[in-house]
Amino acid sequence: MTDHTQHSDGGDQVSADLHGLSGAYAVDALDEVERARFERHLADCAECRAEVAELQETAALLATDEVAPPPALRDAVLAGIETVRPLPPATGGDAPTDHRRARRRWRSGRTLLVAAAVVLIALAVGTAWLRPWAEDGGDTIATPSTTERVLEADDATRVRQDFPDGSSATVVLSRNEGHAVIVTEDMANAPAGRVYQLWLETPEGSMLSAGLMPDDPDTTLLLEGDAAEATAVGITVEPDGGSKEPTTDPIALFPLEA
Amino acid sequence: MDPARPGLDGVPDPGAPSGADLAALLNRSARGDRDAFARLYDATAARVHGLVLRVVRDPAQAEEVTQETYLEVWRTASRYDADRGSALSWLLTIGHRKAVDRVRSAEAASRRETTYHQRNQAVEHDVTADAAHASLEAKRVRTALADLTEIQREAVELAYLGGYTHTEVAALLDLPVGTAKTRIRDGLIRLRDAIGVGR
Ligand SMILES: [Zn+2]
């Protein structure tokens, strides 16, 4: 066994325990909590990253079964990618001493916002045969002028949410303009077959759809609808194409001052 | 190792892509090349789906998981790092994670209870079935597996092919809680060293 003592996160005993999870992690045998904990460790432990990569490579050798999926699956996949934008490369280079960046880099391939992981995993399950990728998502057209007016309004207020995976979202509201804009940074895409949907909460407490978010980690989007009296902005995960009303608890809620 | 494997039923396969070819196809997919992605799919789908089906068992659910896997591969292709492993292993890792997340969902939980025993037995049969696998690589793996202790081999197979957590593996093998993760790691390391992965 290798001995890595350069760890600062939590003492040698804790680190030693964490190193020992590399094998179970490589074959996805950790439960949710352990997995999240180990991934935090991975971000800072180059030796475990290397070991995990090797053990994943090793485990893959056990996947000797070959079963050709039905041709319809190929068609569905190739149709599906038409509406999915490939992520840009993770930039920022190798800076192993920069923990923040290392962590972000490591996690950048993950689909799920950590904050929402439990919710999203529950949702990603039981998706019916993924629908043929309805051509929604184009209906949240931000007219630059309105967006700019909101962002630069004298009465603009900002509510920011930071997520544990390093991503963030900020809602900018201008009561005078009657609109709100959301600005995301490093936001993970919604799971396949799902979409992030925006909502405006009315003073009466009902949620009105404010449009769908594109799968784009860094986006600036004008919310649809009248935000002059909205009391909150919410984001939920909905089936592709969105829902008439929220079908899940919000993964993020931005309370707006009156 | 050479992760490329030929043999896609019904798909003409003029010269199966090598590992380097797969990595190149993945890189081109990252740039939005759909043809490259289609070739990548053709070259790997049987292997990925075979693993997903092995873990998930239910064919309809396995097809969903395989579909989700390839959409994820397309979306995150730019994040593949050839220094960290082969393209095929990267695909299988994504597929395995999704398969495991699927079987562990609350929805599947109740169904699994009833098949716990059946699955445990199935592990024994599969060894025989796999022995029939003709490929050289599979033979090497089989030989290397023989180097593992019985407990190590079972722990690795239950975790990877069965999709069980290390806690479940401990229960299945009557091991003290907390020791299965060590057996899994020791087994994988021994397997790695016997086969020479990453050396
Ligand atoms: Zn470590």
pLDDT single digits (tens) A37-87? 999 999 999 999 999 999 999 999 999 989 999 999 999 999 999 999 999
Complete DSSP assignment for chain A? --------SSHHHHHHHHHTTHHHHHTT-S-HHHHHHHHHHHHH-HHHHHHHHHHHHHHHTT-----PPPHHHHHHHHHHGGG-PPPPPPPS---TT-HHHHHHHHHTT--S-GGGHHHHHHHHTT--S-----S-STT----HHHHHHHHH-TT-EEEEEE-TTS-EEEEEEETTTTEEEEEEESPPPPPTTEEEEEEEE-TTS-EEEEEE--S-SS-EEEPSS--SS--EEEEEEEETT--SS--S--SEEEE---
Tell me, yes or no, whether A41 and A153 share the same domain.
Answer: no
Nearest-Cα distance to chain A for B103, in Å, is 9
A58 chain-B contacts, CB cut-off 8 A: 188, 191-192, 195, 197
Tell me, yes or no, whether A125 and A213 share the same domain.
Answer: yes
Q: What is the Cα–Cα distance from A152 to A233, expressed in whole angstroms?
A: 19
Structural domain includes residue A80: no
Query: Does position A118 have pLDDT exceeding 60, yes or no?
Result: no
Cα–Cα–Cα angle for B82, B83, B87, rounded to 5 degrees: 30
Structural domain includes residue A196: yes
Q: Are A100 and A166 contacting, i.e. CB atoms less than 8 angstroms apart?
A: yes
B182 chain-A contacts, CB cut-off 8 A: 20, 23
User: Per DSSP, what are the bridge partners of residue A29?
Assistant: none
Nearest-Cα distance to chain A for B76, in Å, is 6
Q: Are B186 and B152 contacting, i.e. CB atoms less than 8 angstroms apart?
A: yes
pTM: 0.58
Q: Are B141 and A62 contacting, i.e. CB atoms less than 8 angstroms apart?
A: yes
A81 closest CB neighbour out of B34, B164, B195? B34
Q: Are B198 and A53 contacting, i.e. CB atoms less than 8 angstroms apart?
A: yes
Tell me, yes or no, whether A39 and A137 share the same domain.
Answer: no
In chain B, the domains with their CATH numbers are: 19-120 (1.10.1740.10), 127-195 (1.10.10.10)
Tell me, yes or no, whether A50 and A132 share the same domain.
Answer: no
Nearest-Cα distance to chain A for B122, in Å, is 14
CB of B74 within 8 Å of a chain A CB? The answer is: yes
Number of domains in chain A: 2
Inter-chain contact B74–A81, Cβ cutoff 8 Å?
A: yes
Chain A: residue whose CA lies nearest to B59: A69
Q: A-contacting residues of B 105-134, CB under 8 Å? A: 105-108, 130, 133
Supply the ipTM of this predicted assembly: 0.82
Tell me, yes or no, whether A221 and A119 share the same domain.
Answer: yes
Residue A220 structural domain:
109-255
Task: Give residue A97 CA to ligand 1 midpoint distance, Å.
Answer: 15
Q: What is the Cα–Cα distance from A254 to B73, expressed in whole angstroms?
A: 32
Tell me, yes or no, whether A39 and A140 share the same domain.
Answer: no
The pLDDT value recorded for residue A173 is: 87
Query: Does position B194 have pLDDT exceeding 80, yes or no?
Result: yes
Structural domain includes residue A176: yes
CB of B13 within 8 Å of a chain A CB? The answer is: no
Inter-chain contact B11–A64, Cβ cutoff 8 Å?
A: no
The pLDDT value recorded for residue B192 is: 95
Structural domain includes residue A66: no
| pLDDT band, very low/low/confident/very high, at A36 (cuts 50, 70, 90) | very high
pLDDT digit string, tens, across residues B17-62: 888 899 999 999 999 999 999 999 999 999 999 999 999 999 999 9
Q: In three state form, how does the secondary structure of A147-202 look?
A: HHHHHHCCCCEEEEEECCCCCEEEEEEECCCCEEEEEEECCCCCCCCEEEEEEEEC
* A104 or A92, which is more confident: A92
Structural domain includes residue A90: no
CB of B25 within 8 Å of a chain A CB? The answer is: no
A60 chain-B contacts, CB cut-off 8 A: 3, 86, 88-89, 92-93
Q: What is the DSSP letter of B196?
A: T
pLDDT digit string, tens, across residues B55-65: 999 999 999 99
Report how far apart, in Å, the C-alpha atoms of B47 and of each of A62, B40, B89 are: 11, 12, 10
Inter-chain contact B66–A69, Cβ cutoff 8 Å?
A: yes
Residues 6 or more apart in contact with residue A164 via CB below 8 angstroms: A114, A115
Domain boundary among A60, A75, A99: A60
Structural domain includes residue A11: yes
CA A91 to chain centre: 18
A57 chain-B contacts, CB cut-off 8 A: 1, 85-86, 89, 192, 197-198
Tell me, yes or no, whether A144 and A219 share the same domain.
Answer: yes
Inter-chain contact A24–B3, Cβ cutoff 8 Å?
A: no
Q: Are B149 and B179 contacting, i.e. CB atoms less than 8 angstroms apart?
A: no
Question: Of all helices (H) and strands (E), which one includes residue B125?
Answer: helix B106-131
